[in-house]
């Protein structure tokens, strides 16, 4: 039986060409010239069956990515998933069964596990943040505080945990931060310059750390306003003054212990870098479920 998913829209899929390119790089890094242990110790004709098992309660992310790592290296590996990404599972739950050439399974094992453990860690922590703000109307979003080379996968994991993605990269939207504004001279000047040059469907967000800046960003025609490291009182005042004319994003030092009270100020989005930057990997193992046997033929 497939475990129930969290109640959220399925995340956007990873482009298969980009995924294969990344996985090829990950596998080459780990294998080097040859997997000496598996090649020397395991006969080429042997097959085996393993199960990937959750060793603690988790929200799952990255199973399809791990499955592709196995089949990219060894096309004869057969995979049967018992849960979907985004599912919340208990300790001891089997996530997938893998059957095929023993050498290939053991060569790819660590790379695949590293990915699933890391991505499921992000999804699990994200789900905890999402649970804390349930019923407030605020939505959790991620940031660009991601591991170089893993951004697309980490943002996918955030979506598996019930969060929303902010910018995927610098080309996804304009965010005018304090240094951009300082170079341009003012919020008004920065927004005007952006509006004159930006692609027509791209939104402009302005970072503000004072209420007078919120007023200026609103008057300049910003599409979104970020409330950066503001007090709860200042955020409540900003929500009242903006009065729903543009979405408001709270950001800066958000923790599990503080996110609920931030959400209750009435902001629309809360961005949290910790869900990608500091999420601990979860414990997932690959256990032998069927004795190794000679391959047919």
Packing angle, helices 102-132 and 151-160, rounded to 10: 60
Span 256-279, mean pLDDT? 97
Average pLDDT over residues 238-257: 97
Task: Give CA–CA dist 252/271, Å, rounded.
Answer: 8
Catalytic residues: 110, 145, 177, 207, 228
Contact present, 276 and 122 (Cβ < 8 Å): yes
At residue 46, the 3 state secondary structure works out as strand
Band (1; pLDDT cuts 50, 70, 90): very low
Dist. CA 159–CA 165, nearest whole Å: 7
Share of the chain above pLDDT 90, in %: 91
CA 161 to chain centre: 8
All structural domains of the chain: 16-130+280-294 (3.90.1170.20), 133-277 (3.20.20.70)
Cβ pair 129, 275 in contact under 8 A: yes
Question: What average pLDDT does this structure show over 7-23?
Answer: 76
Burial of 282 per CB tally in 10 Å (0-12, 13-18, 19+)? buried
pTM, rounded to two decimals:
0.93
Q: Report how far residue 104's alpha carbon sits from residue 71's, in angstroms, rounded to the nearest whole number.
A: 9
Flag whether pLDDT at 297 surpasses 50: no
Q: Which pLDDT score, from 0 to 100, does residue 290 have?
A: 66
Residue 91 pLDDT > 90: yes
Rounded CA separation 286/293 (Å): 18
What mean pLDDT, rounded, does the chain reach? 93
């Amino acid at each position: 039986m497939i475990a129930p998913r969290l109640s959220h829209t399925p995340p956007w899929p990873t482009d298969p060409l980009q995924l294969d390119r990344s996985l090829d790089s990950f596998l080459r890094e780990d294998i080097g010239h040859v997997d000496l242990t598996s090649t020397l110790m395991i006969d080429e004709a042997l097959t085996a069956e393993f199960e990937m098992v959750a060793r603690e309660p988790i929200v799952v992310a990255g199973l399809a990515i791990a499955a592709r790592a196995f089949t990219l290296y060894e096309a004869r590996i057969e995979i049967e998933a018992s849960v979907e990404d985004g599912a919340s599972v208990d300790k001891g739950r089997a996530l997938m069964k893998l059957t095929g050439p023993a050498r290939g399974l053991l060569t790819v094992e660590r790379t695949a596990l590293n990915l699933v453990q890391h991505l499921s860690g992000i999804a699990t922590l994200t789900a905890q943040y999402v649970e804390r703000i349930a019923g407030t109307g605020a939505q959790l979003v991620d940031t660009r505080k991601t591991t170089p080379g893993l951004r697309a996968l980490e943002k996918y994991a955030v979506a598996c945990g019930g969060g929303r993605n902010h910018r995927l990269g610098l080309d996804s939207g304009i965010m005018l931060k304090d240094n951009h504004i300082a170079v341009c001279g003012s919020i008004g000047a920065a927004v005007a310059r952006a509006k004159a040059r930006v692609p027509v469907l791209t939104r402009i967000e302005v970072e503000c750390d004072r209420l007078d800046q919120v007023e200026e960003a609103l008057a300049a025609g910003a599409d979104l306003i970020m409330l950066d490291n503001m007090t709860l009182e200042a955020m409540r005042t900003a929500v009242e003054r903006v009065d729903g004319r543009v979405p408001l994003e709270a950001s800066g030092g958000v923790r599990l212990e503080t996110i609920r009270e931030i959400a209750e100020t009435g902001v629309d989005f809360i961005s949290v870098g910790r869900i990608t930057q500091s999420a601990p990997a979860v414990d997932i193992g690959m256990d032998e479920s069927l004795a190794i046997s000679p391959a047919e033929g």
